[in-house]
Structure 1
Amino acid sequence: MPSQRKKGRAVTRSDRHEHTPARYGRTFAIGVTLNVGFVIIEAFYGWHTQSLALLADAGHNLSDVAGLLLAWAAVGAARLRPNVRHTYGWRRGSILASFANAIILLLAMGSLGWEAIQRLQTPADIEANTVMVVAGIGVLINAATAALFMAGSKTDLNIRGAFLHMAADALVSVGVVISGALYLWQGWTWIDPVVSLVIAVVIVIGTWSLFYRSLHLLFDGVPESIDLNAVRDCLLALPDVADLHDLHVWAMATNENALTAHLVLKGGTVQTRGLLEQARENLHELFEIRHVTLQVETADQAVLCPAMHCS
């Protein structure tokens, strides 16, 4: 196959099947270990100091451990080879993990908001110095873990789910530090639940995109990074292609997209091998679509396509 130039190097057939980097296995292991240890510390001191913010954050951190494990399992599932029962393998597990992580985050923030409202009705004193120290440790741990996932979050929705979990935890911990400082400064017993409530709202707003995008992909929606009209124009611009129909683009995983289409050829004899190779290279280079299935047919054959399936 002819190679193509991309980012200063040749892109070959092997490049088209590079998926989630293996290094994320170690990243998930580090993230899970750090957060399990911190949950234990935070829960103990939250109970000892009667801080709702610390206890709520410990519960949220525990849900994030579950979220990390879920995302980690999805990365592992994506590496399982296809078989006669699962011809695409288990790649879609990453989309399911993204959706589940969004649900976990939304439920955790709903619980945090409810507890904050309850505490507003019965404010309580807290040991602010201890709370601030423990929360400060949480900021460092969660921010460091989020940084490990930052690069991958830009291209992989499953990794983005893990990143949002850790970034949300870091934000909650920052809020706990602020509420402790304000309590020491003004003695406001209501500041702890108010800050928790504000942070819950901020995180819900930030999580909504993950929820919507993963739900969209679960129902085979066109990935938001792909313009379907641009894909259509790309295929129609190929030599000897007169028309196309049954164009479908969907996500096989959070970092892999697939395409199927019927290409209607112009009259005369056409060397389809070169045409298909060019189509695949263009789709990979312009849209990062790695899995392409194209059927070529004449205008007479295209007429036979059932109307309900044509597009």
Structure 2
Amino acid sequence: MHQCDHHHPAPKDFGWAFAVGITLNITFVAVEAAFGWWSDSLALMADAGHNLSDVLGLLMAWAGYALAKLPTSQKRTYGWRGSTILAALFNSLLLMIAVGGIVWEAVSRFSAPPHIQGPVVIVVAIVGVVINSATAMLFMRGSEHDLNLRGAYLHMAADALLSLGVAIAGGIILWTNWWWVDPVTSLIIAAVIFVATWSLMAESFRLAMHAVPANIDSQQVESYLAGLPGVTSVHDLHIWAMSTTEIALTAHLVRPNHDNDDALLNEASETLHHDFKINHMTIQIERSVADADCGQWEEGTL
């Protein structure tokens, strides 16, 4: 059995982004709660509680990010890398709960229109747009390649959108007295958040179940390995996510008549890394399936 070289992408430190984002949001929660108490606005007090859940989401994402950096051990040979997948899944569930809360509140407001607390609510909502947008921007770059960071990004982007909706709806209601604008805007925002969150939840669940990551075509990987010089068949091919940024592969290659396996493994390692973004790979070379007797292969399986 041959353990191919591992390719570790240069890490980008988002610890500072989590620290800044959490600090900004805790400050905003305190300010919003204070203004809610001062203006006797139940809406602001409730929104402060909702924004506190954002802090929880950021803390979970940061915890997963930090745990993934811990070294491996004899009992945890992959370390805590899987914690980023759990954090992404938790954040997607938290966002879905928030969507449910928004829909519930919006529907109830059709029968009981809220009393808008004047310019105070609008100003605080605009501040929320600025803070949540700034926090989301901290994670936008990393969200393209890291599902955990995408969860943090979506959480803050969703809240920025919600705060913007509150500000716009509040202004329209104060100007026109069209009270229905508020719940309708909330339902539209809830639909947008749901669509954006669904893909995050589906992919994080897939990774938690050790499914092949969405950006990997397992048939293409199998075809590539089967086409290597001297390889007659491929079996026990497994591809899964170790974390939200690292992908692992194990495979058995049947290669009856060739001895220079190291050159083949080096070539396979480089191609799998550059073409398929697979970081960790373990390939077993066998002269025949019968001789290997690995006890895993079955006809018709990879």
Q: RMSD of the TM alignment (CA)?
A: 1.9
- 2:246 is matched with 256
Q: 1:37-52 to 2 correspondence within 5 Å?
A: 37-46=27-36, 48=39, 50=41, 52=43
* Counterpart check, 1:21 vs 2:12: yes
Secondary structure in 2 aligned to 1:249? strand
C-alpha distance in 2 between matches for 1:20 and 1:56 = 38
Aligned residues: 295
* Counterpart check, 1:150 vs 2:150: no
Please report how far the alpha carbon of residue 274 of structure 1 lies from its aligned counterpart in structure 2 after TM superposition. 0.9
Secondary structure in 2 aligned to 1:292? strand
Secondary structure in 1 aligned to 2:237? strand
2:268 to 263, 279, 284: 279
- TM-score normalised by length of structure 2: 0.92
Q: Which runs of 5+ in 2 are unaligned?
A: none
The code of the aligned residue for 1:18 comes to P
Q: 1:54-65 to 2 correspondence within 5 Å?
A: 54-65=44-55
Q: 1:232-271 to 2 correspondence within 5 Å?
A: 232-265=222-255, 267-271=256-260
Please report how far the alpha carbon of residue 207 of structure 1 lies from its aligned counterpart in structure 2 after TM superposition. 0.6
Residues 257 and 290 of structure 1 are in contact (CA less than 8 Å); yes or no, is this contact kept in structure 2? yes
Q: 1:57-206 to 2 correspondence within 5 Å?
A: 57-206=47-196
1:116-141 per-position Cα deviation (integer Å, ceiling 9, x unaligned): 22232211321231111111111111
Residues 57 and 169 of structure 1 are in contact (CA less than 8 Å); yes or no, is this contact kept in structure 2? no
C-alpha distance in 1 between matches for 2:262 and 2:64 = 36
Q: Which runs of 5+ in 1 are unaligned?
A: 1-12
1:128-167 per-position Cα deviation (integer Å, ceiling 9, x unaligned): 3111111111111111111110110000000000000110
C-alpha distance in 1 between matches for 2:52 and 2:40 = 19
- TM-score normalised by length of structure 1: 0.89
C-alpha distance in 2 between matches for 1:41 and 1:143 = 17
Residues 39 and 61 of structure 1 are in contact (CA less than 8 Å); yes or no, is this contact kept in structure 2? yes
- 2:280 is matched with 291
1:33-67 per-position Cα deviation (integer Å, ceiling 9, x unaligned): 00111112223334535363x44543332111101
Deviates more, 1:184-193 or 1:105-114: 184-193
C-alpha distance in 1 between matches for 2:34 and 2:298 = 61
C-alpha distance in 1 between matches for 2:10 and 2:68 = 9
C-alpha distance in 2 between matches for 1:41 and 1:236 = 61
Q: How many percent of aligned residue pairs carry the same amino acid?
A: 48
